[in-house]
């Protein structure tokens, strides 16, 4: 693999992560200083830090329950468990993530939990679509998220974003309360302060989404290192992102499956991810021993693991099924 390119991408991802997280923190500090003065914003960050590290790790079971997930035992899928054990060893995880199956025809996978309670969930649609080589790559990507501690990092970003939104709401409420005083020439904030309160939640949300995309790039890099096979993940992304649709849909509605602007996506453009992975080379030029050769076919679970659910969305919990 192209190790120089890997180092360049990692360094760039690290800098972008620092800049985005620092930008979100600075935006929160400005809002707090505008409302309460410069003496208080330091205490806000101290309190936020204490909350982040004092709260116990939440068990991933409650989230998996929302998706009606069922655990996959080593007896039911010995090949998958052999893969996840080897990936966990290579990534130096403290514990082996538990594998879960989700009864959905969507093609998705995600990792949840921290430290000793981690899990990786795979949808039924994903297991049917991908070959074993591609599933290894997807499992490596989710293992990389756990190894990079991305869940904690994104929780910190989410907390900062929520606090920024709270400060903005408090400021706008204060403006409404003091609105009659504007006619007397009294304004609690300058014009720039008012503008900051209005745009800060949107700016913080955009930076949070940008941070999420950067962490996806970083997980791709580590996944390629863990497996020694970046092309395997590129193939999986190509299948997931560009499913075979009807001819008239591709001709008349080329972007109907991804209508949201790229700036508002939590994941980077699949094409860019694929190009970056293919730049790294293939498994023939890797210091990582490629995963053991397994039958290049879909995983077969017991007949009780079947689903007829179509892709859907729960408005209350904002999750897909």
- Burial classification of residue 237, based on how many CB atoms lie within 10 Å of its CB (0-12 exposed, 13-18 middle, 19 or more buried): buried
Angstrom distance (rounded) from CA 276 to CA 6: 9
269 is catalytic: no
Location of structure tokens 């996506």: 265
Give the chain's mean pLDDT. Answer: 81
Supply 140's token pair: 């490596």
Domain spans in the chain, listed from the N-terminal domain onward: 3-320
User: What is the pLDDT, as a whole number, of residue 263?
Assistant: 58
The reported pLDDT for the residue numbered 296 is 61
**Structure token pair of residue 8:** 């360049």
pLDDT value at residue 313 = 46
Contacts for 190 with CB less than 8 Å, ≥ 6 apart: none
Give the Cα separation of 99 and 76 in Å (integer). 11
Cα separation of 80 and 59, whole Å? 22
Among 142, 225, 279, 292, which one carries the catalytic annotation?
142
Q: Is the separation of the CB atoms in 153 and 190 below 8 Å?
A: no
The ranges of the chain with pLDDT < 50 are 245-250, 253, 255-256, 259, 310-311, 313-321
């Amino acid at each position: 693999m192209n190790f120089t390119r890997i180092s360049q991408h990692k360094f760039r991802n690290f800098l972008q992560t620092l800049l985005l997280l620092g930008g979100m923190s600075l935006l929160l500090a400005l809002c707090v200083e505008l409302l309460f003065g410069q003496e208080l914003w330091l205490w806000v960050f101290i309190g936020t830090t204490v909350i982040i590290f004092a709260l116990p790790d939440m068990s991933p079971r409650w989230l998996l329950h929302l998706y009606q997930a069922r655990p996959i035992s080593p007896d039911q899928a010995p090949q998958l468990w052999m893969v996840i054990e080897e990936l966990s060893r290579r990534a130096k995880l403290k514990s082996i993530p538990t594998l879960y199956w989700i009864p959905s025809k969507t093609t998705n996978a995600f990792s949840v939990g921290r430290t000793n309670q981690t899990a990786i969930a795979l949808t039924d649609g994903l297991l049917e679509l991908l070959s074993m080589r591609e599933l290894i790559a997807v499992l490596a990507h989710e293992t990389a998220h756990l190894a990079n501690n991305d869940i904690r990092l994104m929780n910190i970003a989410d907390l900062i974003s929520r606090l920024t939104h709270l400060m903005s709401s408090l400021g706008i409420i204060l403006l409404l309360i003091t609105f009659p005083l504007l006619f007397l020439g009294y304004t609690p904030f300058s014009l720039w302060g008012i503008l900051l309160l209005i745009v800060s939640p949107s700016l913080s949300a955009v930076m949070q989404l940008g941070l999420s995309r950067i962490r996806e790039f970083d997980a791709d890099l580590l996944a390629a290192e863990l497996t020694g096979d970046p092309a395997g993940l590129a193939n999986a992304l190509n299948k997931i992102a560009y499913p075979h649709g009807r001819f008239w849909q591709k001709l008349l509605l080329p972007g109907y499956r991804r209508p949201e602007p790229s700036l508002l996506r939590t994941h980077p453009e699949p094409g860019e991810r694929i190009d970056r992975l293919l730049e790294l080379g293939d498994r023939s030029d890797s210091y990582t021993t490629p995963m053991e050769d397994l039958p290049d076919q879909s995983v077969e679970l017991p007949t009780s693991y079947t689903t007829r659910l179509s892709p859907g969305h729960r408005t209350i919990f904002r999750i897909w099924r």
